[in-house]
A and B are shown apart, each in its own frame.
Chain A
Amino acid sequence: MIRRHHIAVSVLALSIGAASCGSAGPEPVDLKGAGATFPAPLYGRWFKDYSDAHSNVRVDYAPVGSGTGITQFTNKTVDFGASDAAMTDDEISKVAQGVQLIPMTAGIIVLAYNVPDVTTPLHLSRSAYAGIFLGKITSWDAPEIASANPGVKLPKLNISVVHRADSSGTSFAFTQHLSEISPEWKAGPGTSKSPNWPTGIGSNHNDGVTASVKQNPGSIGFIEYGYAKSTGLPLAWLENKAGKYVEPGTPSAQAALAGAPFPENLRLFIPDPDAPGAYPIVTYTWLLAYRNYTDPKTADALKDLVRYCLGPGQTISEELGYVPLPDSVASQSLKALDNIK
């Protein structure tokens, strides 16, 4: 009974696959990818769903970090890469087959905190959170924090900053934002995947930072929204460029992404969005594809996979704590697939 069911499903899947994209025949295709950990939960889900529907395509994705992903992509040991920091022109010039950057989804970086007995979400001004990560503001009852939170009784508790210990695209996006809003940060640690953090303890990966914040009263750390959402940690409302305090979430993230037009190469950072309802720390994450594949089957399979992710796949994004791409961006990404051969 189970077996018959299984056969029925795969036959169905095959026929769907054949119907949706005429080129995908029964010949098996393996796609290997490596890169960013930030979108890994979402990619894992997408690729699994896609493989379930297309039994001839197998997708392996190794979440090894953006930097390693770029290296492996440049060395041609994978079929596609993934990076939160896109690729620099310098890095792109090293790939003879050409590079197509494809924005896949966007994420927000939130400040999760652990302050006992504070139930209302804390509001942090730009100078407050920059000061906390610079190590200038060291107690939760500091005037810089208290002034934005009238009526909240803040404890006299040391602030313990938690940051990433490994090299990370999340750190890159976060420090890029801090460099934009704080000249002192720009002159000091600067924008980097592994900056010289002025204060705090380091934890490994997003889940390590999440665990550290959850375990230690008085701590604050930056993490990807999906991780924060699944653990239920309280998240700070941050002051944006327009001076408003904004709750992190999909609507405020989409407000941040909207209105910023993409350049030709689809590489766009929004270190400090202008819109009044925008959450201030957002980042796109990119899939890295070659422009010319030696095997057309690989190119076709990859394009079909990306079409799935940018189309039906976008509905899964929000559920996992990512931000669905604005329609204009998704259509631009889809158009870019024509460059891949």
Chain B
Amino acid sequence: MTSLSAVEDRARAVSISRPPSSGEQMVDRVVRLTTQVFAWSVVVLVTFIVLKIAWTAQPAVRRYGTELIRTSTWDSNREQFGLLPAIWGTLYSSILGLAIGTFFGLSIAIVLSQDFLPRVVETVLKNLIELLAAIPSVVYGLWGIFVVIPAIRPFAGWCSDHLAWIPIFGTPLKGPGMLPASIVLAIMVLPTVSALSRDAIMSVPSKLKEAAYGLGATRWEAILGVLVPTAMTGIVGSIMLGFGRALGETMALAMLVGNANEMHVSLFAPGTTLAALLALNFPEAKGVESQALMYAALVLLSITMLVNIIGTAIVTRASKRFKGSRS
């Protein structure tokens, strides 16, 4: 028996120290190759999409140049395709929606990460908020039409009656418009912002919080002065992801924004967005119109990319600063 176990031991020792077999090396190589292929195929896919859109849009780009992003009339019969109102509406609704969404999302992230609530309630709330991301866009659109618009009508009516001298209350609410669209958009970006911000805040080392308390900080001083600034990288990242989602959101906005090719400062005025314009006009577009729509897609893509680049830059800078302070 002893000799047998000794043999086993020796065999085990051999198997631990032996060089990888050719089969294992093969597996290793295949895995590395496969992951690389998948990683590069994403790059190829994105490049292909961009090139394809740019290629299809190219006749319109050559024909109109920058005229499309400087003019504001969309009339396919007269081959005028001004994109300015759509660009304005896209940025207006996204920024407003994101501002509301960030305010609530960040508050939720703080409440759900700092032991304000019993653990069970916290988990339930967290899951409920993440569930918001699972609701289809068209349901948000319907909810906006049947709930949000009637709910804000009294407020909007009062504002446009009494405060019309303030430009953002300048026009009456006709139903669909920028404010209802932005409110629904805010709820749609809420799960992204709150879940990622919460993760960022929770990943701040507890030593930091304890140190802040040790220095005599109150709870809110610790949260606002130490935790949130330390987690800022993640929070900005979550906001940028939310912004990306808001810019590209189509169906709910097509149902709520009013699809009027107009530009207003007023919260209550109808407008349009690039994504809604594309979704509504593309199915029946032919010739120059579809090229112009591709131009619009290119503009939307550029805006989204620009936002992502700026976001990454902010995150990199912020993380550098805090890494410095931490070490």
A residues engaging B (CB < 8 A)?
Answer: 64-68, 71, 158, 160, 162, 165-167, 189-190, 192-197, 199-204, 208, 211-212, 215-216, 218-219
Known: A203-B176, A203-B259. A195 touches B77 (CB 8 A): yes
Main secondary structure of the interface of A (DSSP, over half): loop
Which of B39-47, B192-200, B215-223, B281-289 has 4 or more CB atoms under 8 Å from chain A? B281-289
Q: How far is the CA of A85 from the CA of B185 in the complex (A)?
A: 37
Closest residue to A71 on the B side, CB-wise?
B286
15 A-B interface contacts by CB (under 8 A): A65-B283, A160-B175, A167-B284, A194-B281, A195-B75, A196-B77, A196-B78, A201-B258, A201-B260, A201-B270, A202-B280, A203-B259, A212-B175, A215-B145, A215-B146
The answer to whether the Cβ of B109 comes within 8 Å of any Cβ in the partner chain is no
The answer to whether the Cβ of B167 comes within 8 Å of any Cβ in the partner chain is no
Q: How far is the CA of A283 from the CA of B47 in the complex (A)?
A: 47
Q: How far is the CA of A202 from the CA of B149 in the complex (A)?
A: 15
Contact between A208 and B255, CB atoms less than 8 A apart: yes
* CB-CB nearest 7 A-B residue pairs: A202-B259, A216-B175, A67-B284, A196-B75, A167-B284, A165-B259, A201-B258
Note all chain A residues with C-beta closer than 8 A to B174: 158, 160, 200-201, 216, 218-219
The answer to whether the Cβ of B92 comes within 8 Å of any Cβ in the partner chain is no
Known: A158-B174, A204-B254. A212 touches B260 (CB 8 A): no
Contact between B281 and A216, CB atoms less than 8 A apart: no
The answer to whether the Cβ of B266 comes within 8 Å of any Cβ in the partner chain is no
Q: How far is the CA of A204 from the CA of B250 in the complex (A)?
A: 12
Q: In angstroms, how far is the closest chain A Cβ from the Cβ of B236? A: 35
Q: How far is the CA of A189 from the CA of B76 in the complex (A)?
A: 10
Q: In angstroms, how far is the closest chain B Cβ from the Cβ of A187? A: 12
Q: Pick from A167, A195, A201: contact of B176, CB below 8 A.
A: A201
Main secondary structure of the interface of B (DSSP, over half): mixed
Q: In angstroms, how far is the closest chain B Cβ from the Cβ of A165? A: 4
Contact between B145 and A167, CB atoms less than 8 A apart: no
Contact between A215 and B150, CB atoms less than 8 A apart: yes
- The number of chain B residues touching the other chain, given as a range, is 20 to 34
Contact between B175 and A64, CB atoms less than 8 A apart: no
Note all chain A residues with C-beta closer than 8 A to B77: 190, 192, 195-196
Contact between B270 and A165, CB atoms less than 8 A apart: no
Note all chain A residues with C-beta closer than 8 A to B146: 215
Q: How far is the CA of A202 from the CA of B261 in the complex (A)?
A: 9
Q: In angstroms, how far is the closest chain A Cβ from the Cβ of B293? A: 12
The answer to whether the Cβ of B172 comes within 8 Å of any Cβ in the partner chain is yes
Q: Pick from B80, B175, B276: contact of A215, CB below 8 A.
A: B175
Q: In angstroms, how far is the closest chain B Cβ from the Cβ of A176? A: 13
Contact between B145 and A196, CB atoms less than 8 A apart: no
Q: How far is the CA of A201 from the CA of B255 in the complex (A)?
A: 10
Q: In angstroms, how far is the closest chain A Cβ from the Cβ of B164? A: 13
Q: In angstroms, how far is the closest chain B Cβ from the Cβ of A68? A: 6
The answer to whether the Cβ of B304 comes within 8 Å of any Cβ in the partner chain is no
Note all chain A residues with C-beta closer than 8 A to B75: 189, 195-196
Q: How far is the CA of A190 from the CA of B80 in the complex (A)?
A: 14
Note all chain A residues with C-beta closer than 8 A to B272: 202
Q: How far is the CA of A208 from the CA of B279 in the complex (A)?
A: 15
Interface residues as binary, B52-72 with A (CB distance below 8 Å gives 1, 0 otherwise): 000000000000000000000
Interface residues as binary, B245-284 with A (CB distance below 8 Å gives 1, 0 otherwise): 0000000001100111100000000101000100011011
Q: Pick from B74, B149, B255, B283: contact of A68, CB below 8 A.
A: B283
Closest residue to B285 on the A side, CB-wise?
A167
Q: In angstroms, how far is the closest chain B Cβ from the Cβ of A189? A: 8
Known: A166-B283, A196-B73, A202-B280. A216 touches B149 (CB 8 A): yes
Note all chain B residues with C-beta closer than 8 A to A193: 284
Q: How far is the CA of A215 from the CA of B281 in the complex (A)?
A: 24
Note all chain A residues with C-beta closer than 8 A to B176: 201, 203, 212
Q: Pick from B73, B80, B150, B259: contact of A201, CB below 8 A.
A: B259
Q: Pick from A64, A162, A190, A199: contact of B283, CB below 8 A.
A: A64
Q: In angstroms, how far is the closest chain A Cβ from the Cβ of B267? A: 15
Q: In angstroms, how far is the closest chain A Cβ from the Cβ of B183? A: 16
Q: How far is the CA of A336 from the CA of B276 in the complex (A)?
A: 41
Q: How far is the CA of A124 from the CA of B174 in the complex (A)?
A: 21
Report which residue of A66, A68, A167, A199 has the largest number of chain B beta carbons within 10 angstroms of its beta carbon: A167
Closest residue to A199 on the B side, CB-wise?
B260
Q: In angstroms, how far is the closest chain B Cβ from the Cβ of A305? A: 26
Closest residue to A66 on the B side, CB-wise?
B284
Contact between B261 and A166, CB atoms less than 8 A apart: no
Known: A67-B284, A167-B283. A197 touches B175 (CB 8 A): no
Contact between A67 and B254, CB atoms less than 8 A apart: no
Q: How far is the CA of A162 from the CA of B255 in the complex (A)?
A: 12
Q: A201-B176, A204-B254 are in contact. List 15 more A-B contacts (CB 8 A).
A: A65-B283, A68-B283, A167-B285, A194-B281, A195-B75, A196-B73, A196-B74, A196-B75, A197-B260, A201-B258, A202-B270, A203-B176, A204-B255, A204-B280, A215-B175
Q: From residue 280 to 318 of chain B, which have CB atoms closer than 8 A to chain A?
A: 280-281, 283-286
Q: How far is the CA of A165 from the CA of B149 in the complex (A)?
A: 19
Contact between A67 and B175, CB atoms less than 8 A apart: no
Q: Pick from B76, B177, B254: contact of A194, CB below 8 A.
A: B76
Q: How far is the CA of A203 from the CA of B270 in the complex (A)?
A: 11
Q: How far is the CA of A67 from the CA of B281 in the complex (A)?
A: 11
Contact between B283 and A165, CB atoms less than 8 A apart: no
Q: How far is the CA of A197 from the CA of B150 in the complex (A)?
A: 25
Note all chain A residues with C-beta closer than 8 A to B280: 165-166, 202, 204
Q: How far is the CA of A218 from the CA of B172 in the complex (A)?
A: 11
Note all chain B residues with C-beta closer than 8 A to A64: 283
Q: In angstroms, how far is the closest chain B Cβ from the Cβ of A192? A: 5
Closest residue to B251 on the A side, CB-wise?
A204
Q: How far is the CA of A28 from the CA of B259 in the complex (A)?
A: 45
Q: How far is the CA of A201 from the CA of B261 in the complex (A)?
A: 9
Q: In angstroms, how far is the closest chain A Cβ from the Cβ of B283? A: 6
